[in-house]
Structure 1
């Protein structure tokens, strides 16, 4: 399954131009639980990620995540997936930067209006859904506007390090015998490499 904010005035310099987009694949390790059973599985998402290679100190710039088209799995092991909903994706605000704003654009087959918000040091992309099992969809483009610090490197990564510290959560309705059961799902990127690297100089 492939899952994947406008701007204030920069205090010193205009927004930095992005570097050429880098294509990346996010591999999520996921765990769903229902009726006393737990299933672990993987979800993948392809995306283009844009960020400038360099910025001046206190310069405003954007990190842009453009997800590729994806498909909701219709089966996970022996369980039929009826639909998924309440999708939340967490993107941390990188060190050596200050959050300015975030916005969404585009997307297809989402059956609802996605939203983006800031919660502490994270940017949260939320999608109510529902998305039917087997349906094709494209997540919206996420633009995060930041201001660089005085020095150092700004490294963009996705949120999540374990099932107890997930970067992606959702609710899956799965068929269990004659019943449809709601299974909460928690995921984290594994591996979770640096997706963008911007040097302040």
Structure 2
């Protein structure tokens, strides 16, 4: 009986050791991954109520060892400010897409080091629709489940988008008009 138990225990210990190794960008191939996560309270491992303001899973892009995370807010108008640690201070997250009608916003932030280590995010939430308006600033921690990482073909958003290309067409029209006016002036001077 001992001969059968010892190899089984050894296999279990080996599997546990492999699974407990921190997952860092160096160990992941370049690509886009879906990853589950939760927002924890800033001072405990309890899930923050703000966890419900974000869609799951997040997208993690690994490119040459650099890790970038995209999160989607589903109550965008409530979340007035989001900041992540950058060195010894906090800076605003990058907004890569926004849809005011759907009340969503996609944010992007860099993730350094061990994916299993929760990192702080400062939030300012204002909810005017409540009987007693809610207006609070606090810190939450993003805790990713590194064991849930799976390559995905979900779309990675590369540029800032406000959900409309109207500004592109307005800018294009202005450039064309300016070009026509310049050409007309140039032709008159000859």
Tell me, yes or no, whether TM beats 0.5: no
Q: TM-score, normalised by structure 2?
A: 0.40
- TM, length-normalised to structure 1: 0.38
Q: Which has the higher helix share?
A: 2
Q: Name the one with the larger strand percent.
A: 1
Give the number of the structure with larger relative contact order, counting CA–CA contacts within 8 Å between residues 6 or more apart: 1
